[in-house]
Amino acid sequence: MTARLSLYQKAENELYKMDSSVKTKFYDFCHLFRNDPDHPKLDLKPLKGDGRIFRAKIDPSYRALLARAGVGPDGVQQWLVVAVRHRRHVYEELSVAINRITGEIEFVDLGVVGQSVLKRAGIALTLDPAERDAHTEPKPEPSAAPEPMLEPASEPLLASCTAENLRSLGVVEALIDLALQVTTDEELDQLVAGAPPLTAEVLTGLGAGMSVEEVEREITRPAAAELEPGYEDDMAAALTRTAVTTVDDDVRHVLAEGDFRAWKVYLHPTQRKIVERGYKGPARVSGGPGTGKTIVALHRTARLAAELPHGHNKPILLTTYTKNLTADLRSRLSSLIPPELIARVDIKHIDQLAQNILNENKAAGAQRSLINDDQALDTLREVLFEHDEQRWDAEFLFDEWEQIVLGQSVTSRQDYFKARRAGMGRPLSRPERAAVWKLLDQFTLRLNGIGRETWAQAAERAARYEIERDRKIRLRAERKDEVGGGDLIHLDDNSSAVRYLRHRYQHVVVDEAQDLSSAHWKMLRAMVAAGDNDMFIAGDTHQRIYDRQVTLSTVGINIRGRSSKLTLSYRTTQEILDQAAKVVRAESYDDLDDGTENLKGYHSLLRGPTPEFVACMDWEDEISQLAAALKQWRAEITRPTDEGTVRDPSGTMAVCVADGEMAGRVAADLQIKHGITTAILTKEGPQGGGEVHVGTMHRFKGLEYQKLAVVGASDGILPRTGLIEKYATTDPKRYERELKKCRNQLFVAATRARDALRVSWHGTASPFLPV
Ligand SMILES: Nc1ncnc2c1ncn2[C@@H]1O[C@H](COP(=O)(O)OP(=O)(O)OP(=O)(O)O)[C@@H](O)[C@H]1O
């Protein structure tokens, strides 16, 4: 090898979309270039404009554009492929620069900027002489949009910004004047689509109405690197800061796999910083749907695992709320790190973790089986009936039990008298609290008597065991300190069980944190010693779909000063995101602590069709229209590519509904009446093997689909008025909580769609829809 070749992220993404014959030739080109960059077949020449860019031949039509990036520590010359272009699009105006904020190499192609903007800025693109002279094809062909009509003068879109503002925010120099000439959203979109990453984000933020200060705080600052004087000429150093793929013999495989692997290699600068930072205690990452919180949690886990010394135990816990997401985390982590590192990570969903603790602590004959909340409510109803209790219904008492008694680990009547009931709609006097305590006591005794417990109770018990274990570990450590590290042989806790007691984990990583209960958090807190990098928490409170609001500081988890936020969505188009955000805009959200959270700055660089909102006449009509839409989507997905390949549509489309009964109905109707095969989403993942996934909003947590339909979005279903209406008068705060929960479910559902979203209803539309 005489040259080392890397591939710029944008170039790699462009290559994914190219014809496979170009990809294969590109692979051969790389092979030749690495062995001899001066091979005559490659015809390597600097461009007339920016002499730092070279063009080399891939075949008679395609060119690789390369930047020379100095010599590596081993003396091998380094080259970066910044783009692959048809020779008709190799202009003198192509340039590379080192970004003044990130220190990364950036490639700028004015050919992708709209003609109208170029014209306004007085720029005409000139084909590079090497391409003009060497071939017979005479006409230089502009790659951008055709000549526009003479436009009326209109106000620039970024009129409130100056060139200096854009420069200080990190917009690449070559695009500053052009950005200030943009007058329409379409022009801005086109500019952003071709711009380097930081420029694209800054301009999108400004275009979406963020102020210069907000963009500085939320986009520029997190991406900043420490740069030495003279950085702007040091391409070799800049290459080390730039997201690239080293081209080796695997590149053919890489290109064939497509952009599904992109996240494995490239983290956005903000994501990377969050992953790589050292934290002096628990840290938390928030961000709207699809901003890569899970990806960051996975990379964080991978990094922690790689830093651990070799061993045979599992010092890292990676946990989340649901079983199917746990399986997903496992498979994604396996594609990031080798089996010997995976072996150091315990990947379990939170209830499974609690069950393991309970099994470990099980006294003979004390086993309890789990029941769901509906079964527990029936038991509570029996207790109320037997006591002829009319003042409160079972739902109210069950809520009181989960939120206050279990939520605050209240274990005695005295403590219950003192418990804070903020957020509970109905006040309770002291005598009433005494009566409620008695009823709840009867209820738990009865459950106990029949050997049953709810999931929430199990979590609470598991937390207590872990807290006790933590207490013993700490006590022993303190005693050891007191005796100056000496043996504790004379102390009462010297049983071998205690002597070898350690915290279960060194690091705990949590995804979907917004849905964990306070018992879960207490259990996790007690499982890891407080210290550097102890807990890493990813979640979005807008996606909380269970009624559990926990302030982390009250369960001993202090994230203050260690919170970061992601704002760029990699999943959803801006069009979907705009509509989805309207569903939750009216509410206020906590930040898992004492503060509040919002979706400010949340944006996407992806564009797609406007979401469809479809009013139907009745159920039959809704299903027929849904079936037609699904067939249309299927035709789009399975349309053969230029290379003649046809994509398998299985699992690319989904239908989301409010409850399990409706899921069954939709699946049956689609199958029987319209011949569309379906798979029902269950706790274990999709069951049934059909093409279209159908499930309730709860099951869609953390998933994503290319095209998604929400069906039955009618008033009375979203929200389920029949079930919650009674709280409007008896317990207004609970009523508000129920409405918010329902909004969040709809928000989660809508943001699972990558590029097409369709929402339908019959009767009156849900009041939460932005229609
Ligand atoms: N740096 C990246 N490069 C490429 N793709 C990315 C990157 N980060 C995230 N993605 C992709 O964006 C999508 C959403 O990522 P992820 O599931 O981590 O988001 P999230 O914030 O956890 O979403 P949600 O809150 O909705 O569950 C995934 O398809 C993921 O592969």
Q: How far is the CA of 191 from the centre of ligand 1 (A)?
A: 24
Q: What is the pLDDT of residue 184?
A: 85
As a whole-number percent, the residues of the chain with pLDDT over 70 amount to 91
Most confident of 223-232, 399-408, 502-511, 717-726: 502-511
Contact 244, 8 (CB under 8 A): yes
Q: What band does 9 get if pLDDT is binned at 50, 70 and 90?
A: confident
Q: What is the pLDDT of residue 368?
A: 81
Pick the residue whose CA is nearest to atom 4 on ligand 1.
Answer: 263
Q: What is the pTM of this model?
A: 0.76
Q: What is the ipTM of this complex?
A: 0.98
Q: What band does 150 get if pLDDT is binned at 50, 70 and 90?
A: very low
Q: How far is the CA of 296 from the centre of ligand 1 (A)?
A: 8
Pick the residue whose CA is nearest to atom 7 on ligand 1.
Answer: 263
The answer on pLDDT for 706 being more than 90 is: yes
Q: What is the pLDDT of residue 746?
A: 96
Residue type, 126: T
Contact 662, 714 (CB under 8 A): no
543 CA closest ligand 1 atom index = 25
Q: What band does 356 get if pLDDT is binned at 50, 70 and 90?
A: very high
Q: What is the pLDDT of residue 705?
A: 94
752 CA closest ligand 1 atom index = 26
How does 140-170 read in b/e, with b if 16+ C-beta sit within 10 Å? bebbbeeeeeeeeeeeebbeebeeebbeebb
Q: Which two tokens stand for residue 96?
A: 């590379």
Q: Ligand 1 pocket test: which of 267, 300, 571 has the largest number of ligand atoms within 8 Å of its C-beta?
A: 571
The model's pLDDT over 87-123, given as tens digits with 9 standing for 90+, comes to 888 988 899 999 999 999 999 988 877 788 888 888 8
Q: What is the pLDDT of residue 153?
A: 55
**Does residue 290 have a known ligand-binding role?**
yes
Q: What is the pLDDT of residue 114?
A: 78
Most confident of 15-24, 519-528, 733-742: 519-528
The model's pLDDT over 167-216, given as tens digits with 9 standing for 90+, comes to 999 999 999 999 999 988 888 888 888 899 899 989 988 887 888 998 89
φ/ψ (deg, to 5) at 693: -80, 135
267 CA closest ligand 1 atom index = 1
Pick the residue whose CA is nearest to atom 16 on ligand 1.
Answer: 292
566 CA closest ligand 1 atom index = 21
Between the alpha carbon of residue 543 and those of residues 480, 581, 644, the distances in Å are 45, 11, 40
Q: In whole angstroms, what is the distance from residue 693 CA to residue 327 CA?
A: 17
The answer on pLDDT for 142 being more than 50 is: no
The answer on pLDDT for 501 being more than 70 is: yes
The answer on pLDDT for 12 being more than 90 is: no
Pick the residue whose CA is nearest to atom 8 on ligand 1.
Answer: 292
Q: What is the pLDDT of residue 264?
A: 67
Q: Using DSSP, state whether 7 is helix, strand or coil.
A: strand
Pick the residue whose CA is nearest to atom 14 on ligand 1.
Answer: 290
CB atoms within 10 A of CB 306: 12
Most confident of 147-161, 322-336, 636-650, 652-666: 652-666
Using alpha carbons only, give the angle 659, 664, 669 rounded to the nearest 5 degrees. 125
Q: What is the pLDDT of residue 262?
A: 63
| More confident site: 163 or 418 | 163
Q: How far is the CA of 269 from the centre of ligand 1 (A)?
A: 14
Decide the pairing of beta strands 53-57 and 95-98. Answer: unpaired
Nearest in space to 633 (alpha carbons), one of 647, 615, 614? 647
Q: What is the pLDDT of residue 145?
A: 45
Q: What band does 64 get if pLDDT is binned at 50, 70 and 90?
A: very high
Q: How far is the CA of 13 from the centre of ligand 1 (A)?
A: 16
Q: What is the pLDDT of residue 364?
A: 58
Pick the residue whose CA is nearest to atom 29 on ligand 1.
Answer: 571
Q: How far is the CA of 262 from the centre of ligand 1 (A)?
A: 10
**Of 8-22, 670-684, 716-730, the least confident:** 8-22
Q: How far is the CA of 639 from the centre of ligand 1 (A)?
A: 26
Q: How far is the CA of 260 from the centre of ligand 1 (A)?
A: 11
Report DSSP letters for 652-702, one per residue. TEEEEESSHHHHHHHHHHHHHHH---EEEEETTEEES--SEEEEEGGGGTT
The answer on pLDDT for 730 being more than 50 is: yes
**Does residue 423 have a known ligand-binding role?**
no
Q: What is the pLDDT of residue 149?
A: 44
Q: How far is the CA of 540 from the centre of ligand 1 (A)?
A: 13
Q: What is the pLDDT of residue 586?
A: 80
DSSP 84: E
Kind plus residue range of the DSSP H or E element containing 509: strand 507-510
Q: What is the pLDDT of residue 148?
A: 45
Q: Ligand 1 pocket test: which of 10, 276, 294, 537 has the largest number of ligand atoms within 8 Å of its C-beta?
A: 294
The answer on pLDDT for 257 being more than 60 is: no
Most confident of 27-36, 64-73, 584-593, 689-698: 689-698
**Does residue 46 have a known ligand-binding role?**
no
**Does residue 289 have a known ligand-binding role?**
yes
The answer on pLDDT for 620 being more than 60 is: yes
With 0-12 / 13-18 / 19 or more C-beta atoms within 10 angstroms meaning exposed / middle / buried, residue 100 is middle
Q: What band does 349 get if pLDDT is binned at 50, 70 and 90?
A: very high
**Does residue 449 have a known ligand-binding role?**
no
Q: Ligand 1 pocket test: which of 263, 276, 597 has the largest number of ligand atoms within 8 Å of its C-beta?
A: 263
Pick the residue whose CA is nearest to atom 3 on ligand 1.
Answer: 263
The answer on pLDDT for 223 being more than 70 is: yes
In the CATH hierarchy, which fold is given to the domain comprising 267-358+482-566?
A: Rossmann fold (3.40.50)
Pick the residue whose CA is nearest to atom 5 on ligand 1.
Answer: 263
296 CA closest ligand 1 atom index = 18
Q: What is the pLDDT of residue 544?
A: 93
Domain boundaries, the chain: 267-358+482-566, 369-450, 604-762
**Does residue 72 have a known ligand-binding role?**
no
540 CA closest ligand 1 atom index = 25
Q: In whole angstroms, what is the distance from residue 720 CA to residue 724 CA?
A: 7
Residue range 604-762 forms a domain whose CATH class is alpha beta
Pick the residue whose CA is nearest to atom 31 on ligand 1.
Answer: 263
Residue list, ligand 1 pocket, CB within 6 Å:
262-263, 266-268, 271, 287, 289-295, 540, 543, 570-571, 702, 704, 751
Q: How far is the CA of 235 from the centre of ligand 1 (A)?
A: 30
Q: What band does 486 get if pLDDT is binned at 50, 70 and 90?
A: low
Q: What is the pLDDT of residue 140?
A: 47
DSSP 68: E
Average pLDDT across the chain, whole number = 87
